[in-house]
Amino acid sequence: MDLGFAYLAAGLGAGLTAIGAAYGISLIGAAAMEGTARQPSSAGDIRTSMIIGAALIEGVALFAVVVTVILAVK
């Protein structure tokens, strides 16, 4: 098997994962800012939920990148 295509696939998979994670986190940030603007008294709860959601997205993105790289060089 040609490793050039495997490395290309790993690069594309990692790139798409990073783009997807960035998009998801940007949606969470936008929703949190809108929620804080609408209800300033619950800003702490909104911020906590936003950080937990962003951390979960980052964890899934890291897992996807690792799986992509492992499968590409296997």
CATH homologous superfamily, domain 3-73: F1F0 ATP synthase subunit C (1.20.20.10)
For the chain, give every domain's residue range: 3-73
Pick 9 or 43 by higher pLDDT. Answer: 43
pLDDT digit string, tens, across residues 6-39: 888 888 988 999 999 999 999 999 999 999 999 9
Q: Do residues 53 and 26 lie in contact, with contact meaning Cβ atoms separated by under 8 Å?
A: no
Residue partners of 10: CB distance under 8 A and separation at least 6: 68, 69, 71, 72, 73
Position 71 scores a pLDDT of 83
Q: Do residues 72 and 7 lie in contact, with contact meaning Cβ atoms separated by under 8 Å?
A: yes
Pick 44 or 1 by higher pLDDT. Answer: 44
Phi/psi at 8 (5° precision): -65, -45
